[in-house]
Amino acid sequence: MKVLVFGAIGRVDLNVLKFALAEGHAVTALARDSEKLLVSHERL
């Protein structure tokens, strides 16, 4: 499944992002500042 996460650097959305990646989903993350996105993954 493809998942879109808005605000991917926030506390809750970061957990959603990590959970979706762990479940094997392809994730697109939108954040104001991509430098603050601390997650790196092949499906991200």
CB burial of residue 3 (10 Å; 0-12, 13-18, 19+) = middle
Tens-place pLDDT, residues 20-42: 999 999 999 998 888 888 888 99
Q: Provide the pLDDT for residue 37.
A: 86
- b vs e for 21-43, b when ≥16 Cβ sit within 10 Å of the residue's Cβ? beeeeebebebeeeeeeeeeeee
Backbone angles phi, psi at 32, to 5 degrees: -65, -40
Backbone angles phi, psi at 4, to 5 degrees: -115, 125
CA nearest 37: which of 23, 21, 24, 25?
21
